[in-house]
Amino acid sequence: MSHETLQSNLEVEIRFSADPAGLEVAARSDLLRAAAVEPAEELVSTYFDTPSRALRRDGVALRLRAQGSGAALAQLKCAHGDGYDPFAQQEIEAPAAGDAPDLSAFPSDVAQRLAQTIGEEPLSPQFTTFIQRSVRRLSRGGAEIEVAFDEGTIVAGGRKTPLRRLELELKSGPIAELYALACELAQAAPLRLEATTKADLGFQLAEGTSARPAKADKLAFAQDATVDDVTALILGSALSQFFTNMA
pLDDT at 211: 59
3-state secondary structure 104-157: HHCCHHHHHHHHHHHCCCCCEEEEEEEEEEEEEEEEECCEEEEEEEEEEEEEEC
pLDDT at 222: 77
pLDDT at 228: 67
The packing angle between helices 175-188 and 20-27, to 10°, is: 120
Q: Give the residue ranges of the chain where pLDDT is below 50.
A: 1-8
pLDDT in tens, 23-81: 999 999 999 999 999 999 999 999 999 999 999 999 999 999 998 767 789 999 987 76
Give me the long-range contacts of 101-108 (CB less than 8 A, separation at least 24): 101/48, 101/62, 101/63, 101/64, 101/74, 102/74, 105/74, 106/74, 106/76, 107/7
pLDDT at 68: 72
Q: How far is CA 72 from CA 55, 75, 102, 105, in A?
A: 21, 10, 12, 13
pLDDT at 10: 85
pLDDT in tens, 155-166: 999 999 999 999
pLDDT at 238: 63
Q: Tell me, what amino acid is at 115?
A: A
Comparing CA positions, the residue from 140, 145, 141, 136 lying closest to residue 172 is 145
Helix (H) or strand (E) holding 170, with range, is strand 159-172
